């Protein structure tokens, strides 16, 4: 968290101690929105990963596992090479490697995509603690990444000068900005480029794409690998961007939430981004509501408050899954007659 704001926030909170006043304070909103942006970043990366895979027709519930592997490898890379950039690259590489298992299983061997994805999640869930024991001698978490080698935040010139918006949008680590850039680039790529058109065609009607000379299976494999790259970034954000080290099961369901965001966003990059912001917001709110009395309700037990992002996920899933926006050939391996 940005130091200046958090000080302001804490000073205010301890001085007043009254929840109702909190909601009217600008500093509180700056901190809430700034943290929304941060917390939605891993979701955005992973959801874009989901977009690449699913738009090409491969269901990817392995986002969770890929993220976890990415987070672990990024932490290891950061510590081993003493560089956060190397950490991010390690995260990407590792997640891509594991994603290639999913790609080969689903595309080459026509396995059931849900089963393959689930297997990868379970595999990742076990692999990360095992490697942490082997590499760090710990039970599932990495040593702390000290601030000298930790990823630094960026202050955006000019932007940081704007009141309120500057405080919300500036002072983030580069990955936050990268995620936003990726959203718009993906949108442009999907809508306006030839490859983007092929990508959608392969997921909607592989036979048609094949009949026009598009290599369906090759395209799908590359798409799933892309999904791995993005999950690697998401994982890296969690362990070495936002956090300062890997912790056991640190993704805590964010992969599934990202998948939900993508479904809520109708398999389109920009709506997906807004869905990620919504989930990021609920997460940020949840953190701030712990121990804060709500006007009229008083203090809500933190266990219930922590449920918030998951409850929103379930409501969204119940309301939006099964709508006809999904790629038509999603989940169906392409087998030439």
Partner 1 sequence: MNPDPIVRLQSISKRFGKVLANDRIDLEILPREIHGLIGENGAGKSTVMKILYGFYQASSGEIFINGTKQEICSPEDAISFGIGMVHQHFMLIPPMTVFENIILGQEPTKAGLIDQKKAKSKISSILEKYQIEIDLEATIETLSVGLQQQVEIIKVLYRDAQILILDEPTAVLTPQEAQKLFEVLRQLKESGKTIILITHKMKEILEVTDRVTVFRKGKKIQSLETSQSNEDLLANLMVGRKISKHFDRSVIPDPKTVLDVENLSYRNEQGLEILDRLSFRVKEGEILGIAGVLGNGQTELEHILSGLMTPTSGSIRIYHQPIEGKTNCYIRSHNYSSKLDQSPFGHVPEDRHRMGMILEWSAKDNFLLGHLHEKKFFRNTLINQKNLRCHAKHLMDKYNVSPKQENVLAKHFSGGNQQKMVLARELDGHPNFALISQPTRGVDIGAIEFIHQEILKIRKSRSAIVLISADLDEILTLSDRILVLSKGKIVGEVDAKKADRLQLGMMMTGQAA
Q: Does 198 bind partner 1 (CB under 8 A)?
A: yes
The DSSP annotation for 60-71 comes to -TTHHHHHHHHH
189: Cβ–Cβ under 8 A, 6 or more apart, which residues?
195, 196
CA 145/CA 125 separation, integer angstroms: 22
* Torsions phi, psi for 222 (to 5 deg): -60, -40
Q: Using the rule CB under 8 A, which residue among 208, 307, 311, 314 binds partner 1?
A: 208
Nearer to partner 1, 24 or 194 (CB): 194
Q: Judged by CB under 8 A, which stretch of 46-54, 70-78, 152-160, 191-199 contacts partner 1?
A: 191-199
Q: Give the binding range for partner 1 (CB under 8 A) out of 204-212, 220-228, 253-261, 308-316.
A: 204-212
Name the residue nearer to partner 1 (CB basis): 198 or 288: 198
Site stretch for partner 1 (CB under 8 A), options 152-160, 186-194, 238-246, 297-305:
186-194
In 3D, which of 226, 284, 236 has the Cα closest to residue 29? 284
- Closer Cβ to partner 1, 155 or 193, answer by number: 193
Among 194, 297, 318, 335, binds partner 1 (CB under 8 A): 194
Query: How far apart are the C-alpha atoms of 93 and 323, rounded to whole Å?
Result: 34
Q: Is 266 in the site for partner 1 (CB under 8 A)?
A: no
> Which of 20, 193, 315, 323 touches partner 1 (CB under 8 A)?
193
Which residue in the set 111, 135, 149, 197 belongs to the binding site for partner 1 (CB under 8 A)? 197
Which residue from 109, 192, 296, 318 is in contact with partner 1, where contact means CB under 8 A?
192
Determine if 188 is a binding residue for partner 1 (CB under 8 A).
yes
Using CA atoms, how far apart are residues 141 and 273, in angstroms rounded to an integer?
Answer: 30
In angstroms, the CA 132 to CA 125 distance is 12
Residue 10 to residue 331: CA distance in whole angstroms = 49
State CA 261 to chain mean position distance.
10
Assign 294 to helix, strand or coil.
strand
Of 127, 204, 248, 287, the residue at the interface with partner 1 (CB under 8 A) is 204
For residues 314 and 113, what is the distance between their CA atoms, to the nearest angstrom? 22
* 198, 209 Cβ separation under 8 angstroms: yes
CA–CA separation, 48 and 199 (whole Å): 14
Q: Does 222 bind partner 1 (CB under 8 A)?
A: no
CB of 61 to partner 1, least distance (A): 23
Least distance to partner 1 from the beta carbon of 327, Å?
9
328 binds partner 1 (CB under 8 A): yes
- Contact status: 211 vs partner 1 (CB under 8 A): yes
Q: At what angle do helices 26-55 and 3-16 cross, to 10 degrees?
A: 130
Tokens read off for 283: 């997460």
Residue 95 CB, shortest distance to partner 1, in Å, is 26
Asked if 51 and 186 touch (Cβ cutoff 8 Å), the reply is yes
Question: How near is the Cβ of 58 to partner 1 at its closest, in Å?
Answer: 17
Q: How far is the CB of 323 from partner 1 (least distance, A)?
A: 13
Residue from 207, 253, 295, 321 binding partner 1 (CB under 8 A)? 207
> According to CB under 8 A, which residues from 24 to 83 bind partner 1?
none
Q: Nearest-CA neighbor of 238 among 38, 52, 65?
A: 38
Q: Which residues bind partner 1 (CB under 8 A)?
A: 188, 192-194, 197-198, 200-201, 204-205, 207-214, 328, 336
């Amino acid at each position: 968290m940005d130091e200046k704001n958090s000080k302001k926030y804490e000073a205010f909170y301890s001085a007043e101690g009254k929840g109702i006043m909190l909601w009217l304070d600008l500093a509180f909103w700056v901190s809430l929105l700034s943290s929304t942006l941060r917390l939605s970043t891993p979701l955005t990366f992973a959801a874009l990963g989901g977009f690449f895979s699913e738009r090409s027709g491969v269901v990817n519930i392995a986002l969770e596992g890929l993220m976890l592997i990415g987070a672990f490898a990024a932490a290891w890379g950061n510590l081993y090479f003493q560089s956060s950039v190397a950490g991010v690259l390690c995260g990407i590489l590792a997640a891509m490697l594991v994603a290639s298992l999913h790609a080969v299983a689903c595309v080459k061997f026509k396995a059931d995509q849900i089963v393959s994805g689930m297997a990868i999640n379970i595999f990742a869930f076990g692999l990360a603690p095992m490697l942490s024991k082997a590499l760090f001698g710990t039970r599932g978490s990495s040593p702390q990444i000290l601030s000298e080698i930790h990823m630094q935040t960026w202050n955006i010139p000019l932007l940081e000068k704007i009141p309120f918006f500057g405080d919300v949008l500036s002072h983030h680590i580069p990955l936050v900005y990268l995620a936003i850039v990726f959203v718009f680039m993906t949108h442009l790529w999907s809508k306006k480029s030839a490859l983007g058109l092929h990508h959608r065609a392969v997921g909607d009607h592989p036979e048609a794409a094949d009949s026009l000379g598009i290599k369906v299976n090759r395209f799908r494999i590359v798409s799933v690998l892309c999904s791995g790259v993005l999950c690697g970034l998401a994982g890296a954000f969690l362990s070495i961007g936002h956090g300062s080290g890997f912790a056991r099961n640190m993704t805590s369901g964010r992969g599934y939430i990202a998948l939900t965001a993508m479904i809520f966003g109708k398999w389109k990059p920009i709506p997906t981004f807004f869905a990620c912001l919504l989930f990021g917001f609920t997460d940020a709110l949840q953190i701030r509501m712990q121990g804060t009395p709500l006007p009229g309700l008083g203090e809500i037990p933190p266990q219930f408050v922590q449920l918030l992002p998951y409850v929103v996920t379930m409501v969204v899933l119940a309301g939006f899954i099964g709508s006809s926006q999904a790629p038509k050939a999603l989940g169906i391996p392409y087998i030439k007659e």
